[in-house]
Amino acid sequence: MTKMEQAIFGKKGYQPNLPKKKLLVHSPKKKKAALPIKMTSAELKRHLYENMSEEEHQSLLIKWLDEKSIPFETGLEGIFLPNPHPEGSRAFIIQAASNRKVLAKMRAVGMRRGVSDVKIYLKTINLHIELKRCDGGTISPEQRKTHETINSTTYAVHRFCNGFEEAKSFILEHLII
């Protein structure tokens, strides 16, 4: 443990106050699609794709944009901010606890809620994408306001995309080669 970590977390190091792991019990609130006993590899791939998180979809999109050399940025001026998980993502808790001052400074200089996940700069138009999971996801009032504001311009288009494939096809619609 470094001296910096000792100064921040004490002699014992970081001790998260997360609930202990529970045994896997089917919850009536969250119903995931049950896997059939026999499944083809294509069906399994589709099932896994549909159950990916928003961050995993964004990771695939960024990788594809890099491969195609399409200019883009994420979040606000290239700053990626993780989405807080409702049950409390361990990475988000650690980041939020250690970066409250940084977050306050970012808000003071213009960081706002509702900023598009990915901004893509093409020759004739700018595309703004708000990625959601395949099964949907909630759209905040701030995101809806951003959607309306961007779509009222003539030089940019904003779209909510459910998954990497939908985002990719949206980009390809506007791509001029």
Residues 6+ apart with CB under 8 A from 134: 49, 50, 51, 52, 57, 162, 163
Residue 78 is predicted with a pLDDT of: 39
Query: 73 lies in a domain?
Result: yes
Query: 137 lies in a domain?
Result: yes
Q: From 134, 157, 137, 161, select the one nearest 147 (Cα to Cα).
A: 157
Query: 72 lies in a domain?
Result: yes
CATH number at residue 55: 3.40.1350.10
Dihedrals phi, psi of 106, to nearest 5 degrees: -65, -40
Distance CA 9, CA 3 (A): 10
Contact 147, 156 (CB under 8 A): no
Query: 69 lies in a domain?
Result: yes
Domain that holds residue 60: 51-81+113-174
Query: 140 lies in a domain?
Result: yes
Query: 156 lies in a domain?
Result: yes
Q: In order along the chain (177 residues), what is the average pLDDT of each group of 10 residues?
A: 66 63 52 66 84 87 93 64 51 54 72 84 92 84 92 93 93 82
Q: Are strands 156-162 and 126-132 parallel, antiparallel or unpaired?
A: parallel
Query: 25 lies in a domain?
Result: no
Distance CA 16, CA 97 (A): 11
Total structural domains within the chain? 1
Query: 91 lies in a domain?
Result: no
